[in-house]
Amino acid sequence: MLQLLEPRRVPAHAGRLRPPEQVVFALVFALMAGLVAAVTVSSARTTYASTTASAAGAASHAEARHSGRAAAHNVTSNGRASTALDSALAAALAPLVRHGGDVAAGVIDLTTGSEAVYHGRRHFHSASVENADLLACLLLQHQRTRTPLSGAEAVLAADMMHDSDNYATSVLWDLVGGAAGIRSANAALKLRRTRPGEFGYWGLTSTDVVDQLRLLTDLATSDSPLSAAARGYELRLMDQTAPGQRWGVRSAATPGTGFAVRDGWVPDPALWVVNSIGVVYHDGQRLLIAVLSKDNATEAAGIALARAAARAAEVVITSAG
């Protein structure tokens, strides 16, 4: 396990701001924010508002509400019963698991309401897929106070989601109130088994596939405490992820279609955690897919496992339609 009291040994994607750096950065950030906000706040507000109309995606508002409600009810129940699709997904993943790594995966088809989950309650460290949860928490806090993101917050959010910028993530983690702020917002988002990393180590957040599917449901359907504007804003940032960080569930999308993804990776401490979550389209069906994995021998092996697991989930769920 990682030694939380020895920051030198905690990998970068676990969160790396230490207290002295936070004090110095706070002073710099206060000066920067005033300058950046004046330049960017108008653009940020325009972008935030412009996404409202597209928040529900290709599915109609009524369809998204219905399928999102059905999916959330099934996957968030602690006593969720196994289904034939769960068994099919387990069979599809069996050859992958034999080659190393510990994987969990889940998929919801918002078009049909079908779902399949494999090891849905197994816990994994989040690495930087936590960025998606963090941004949702930030947006929910602003929604509660009826205030827009500041220009500086919009810049940090863009850096965090586009480049997986650890520094931006650590600053936003502090701005939402750290682990306590995340826990409070996650209660509203119904992420019941996601435990925020302590001491600022956001990448050591513990989560599972069921909660990641719940988060994606919060982002992709109207069955959510988040407004249409907030959902659309975050999905757009997830759609703008840097090309080198789109290697996971994107592989399940039909070529040429849109997708919104968040990938994460970290040595933990020697073997690799590699995770991927996102919203993709495949042959006209809108899919929510989450893949979490650990104990991968290398980062490349973890990426290959995430890709293969995402494709297996897509085949199982679309074949059922």
Q: How confident is the model at residue 265 (pLDDT cuts 50, 70, 90)?
A: very high
Q: Please state at what angle helix 151-163 crosses helix 166-175, rounded to 10 degrees.
A: 130
Per-residue model confidence (pLDDT) at position 15: 67
| Closest to 36 measured CA to CA, from 157, 214, 209 | 157
| Closest to 238 measured CA to CA, from 278, 287, 205, 210 | 278
Per-residue model confidence (pLDDT) at position 244: 80
Determine the straight-line distance between the first and last CA of the chain, rounded to whole angstroms. Answer: 42
- State whether residue 198 is helix, strand or coil: coil
- DSSP E strands in 143-229: the ranges are 206-207
- Whole-structure pTM value: 0.79
Per-residue model confidence (pLDDT) at position 290: 98
The share of the chain scoring above pLDDT 90, in percent, equals: 64
Contact 169, 202 (CB under 8 A): yes
- How far is Cα 260 from Cα 216, in angstroms, rounded to an integer? 10
Q: Which DSSP state fits 195?
A: B
| Closest to 235 measured CA to CA, from 223, 247, 217 | 217
Structure tokens, 169: 């993530």
Contact 232, 52 (CB under 8 A): yes
- How far is Cα 246 from Cα 306, in angstroms, rounded to an integer? 11
- How far is Cα 90 from Cα 136, in angstroms, rounded to an integer? 30
Average pLDDT over residues 98-115: 91
Name the CATH superfamily, with its identifier, for domain 13-320.
DD-peptidase/beta-lactamase superfamily (3.40.710.10)
